[in-house]
Amino acid sequence: MSTEQTLLQRCDHKCELCSADTALAVFDVPPDADGSADRCVMICDTCRQQIQQPDSIDPSHWRSLGDSMWNPTPAVQVMAWRQLKTLSDKGEVWAQELLDMLYLEEDVQTWAAAGITESDDRAPTLDSNGTPLQAGDTVTIIKDLDVKGANFTAKRGTAVRNISLTDNPEHIEGRVNGQRIVLLSCYLKKSS
Q: What percent of the chain has pLDDT over 70?
A: 96
DSSP codes, 78-107: HHHHHHHHHHHHTT-HHHHHHHHH----HH
pTM of structure: 0.60
Q: What percent of the chain has pLDDT over 90?
A: 60
Which pLDDT belongs to residue 122? Answer: 63
CATH 2.30.30.40 positions along the chain are: 139-190
Name residues whose C-beta falls within 8 Å of residue 139's C-beta, 6 or more positions apart in sequence.
127, 133, 159, 160, 163, 172, 174, 183, 188, 189, 190, 191
The answer to which of 10-14, 82-86, 114-118 has the lowest mean pLDDT is 114-118
Residue type, 56: S
* pLDDT digits 0-9 by tens, 26-55: 999 988 778 888 999 999 999 999 998 888
Q: What is the predicted pLDDT for the residue at 117?
A: 55
Q: Specify the fold of 139-190.
A: SH3 type barrels. (2.30.30)
Average the pLDDT over 77-94 and give the result: 92
pLDDT of residue 49: 92
- What pLDDT sits at residue 144? 93
Residue 68 has pLDDT above 90, yes or no: yes
For residue 20, name the pLDDT band (cuts at 50, 70, 90): very high
